[in-house]
Structure 1
Amino acid sequence: MSAWLIIEEETVTADGPASHRQVKARTANGKTREEALVELYRAARNYNSDSLKRGTTVVGRDSDGSFWVLPKNGKSHASCNLRLIEQIRT
């Protein structure tokens, strides 16, 4: 079985050119790709961060299978992209 990584990439854009980007990875070992995709879906539905906590969010699936968590009202400067990648063991 393959090992999978669920990547959470959150970007917060402040006023001006400065921005903050945080990337977290967690493993989904011992799972099939389909099981890992279910875990990715759950992670996207339940994603919560301090940057996006202030308002309601909307979750959408991109054409590449990744998920975007965005502020529903458009008033936040934060977004998060969650995706599944196969871990290559060396």
Structure 2
Amino acid sequence: MPVWLIVEEETLTADDAASRRQIKVVRRLNGNRTRDEALVELGKLAKSHRPDSLKGTSYIVGRDGDGSFWFLPRSGKAHAPCTLRLMEEIRG
């Protein structure tokens, strides 16, 4: 049975303009779920999820061709990328 992970991936920029990627698991989806069923769960979560970097900011959510979701500030100002995506957990 595959275990699906919904992960948030965000690029953070420090004051000195150095950037780093931060990835965190938002939810684990256990059970008998196909990839399509897991993508439905991802879509539900994307409607209510708010990245930490966008707290207090008006934003829009867009779906990319691979099924991931992008969070973009509504103001149109430049912002570090933040995505919510589905990954299959592989145990070694």
TM range (shorter): 0.7 to 0.9
TM-score, length basis structure 1: 0.80
RMSD of the alignment, in Å?
A: 2.0
Q: Is the 8 A contact 1:2 1:86 kept in 2?
A: yes
1:44 matched residue in structure 2: 46
TM-score (normalised: structure 2):
0.79
Q: Where does residue 74 of structure 2 map in the other structure?
A: 72
Instruction: Provide runs of 4+ in structure 1 moved above 6 Å.
Output: none
* 1:87 partner letter: E
Paired residues in the alignment total: 90
Matched, 1:28 2:29: yes
* Structure 1 residue 60 corresponds to structure 2 residue 62: yes
Q: Check the 8 A contact 1:10/1:78 in 2, yes or no.
A: yes
Name stretches of at least 5 consecutive residues in structure 2 with no aligned partner. Answer: none
Q: Percent sequence identity over matched residues?
A: 60
Q: Which has the higher helix share?
A: 2
Q: How far apart are the structure 1 equivalents of 2:39 and 2:29?
A: 10
Query: Which sections of structure 1, spanning at least 5 residues, go unmatched?
Result: none
Check if 1:10 corresponds to 2:10: yes
- Measured in 2, the distance between the counterparts of 1:73 and 1:14 equals 21
Tell me the residue number matched to 1:85: 87
* 1:57/1:71 contact within 8 Å kept: yes
Q: State the shift of 1:37 in Å.
A: 0.8
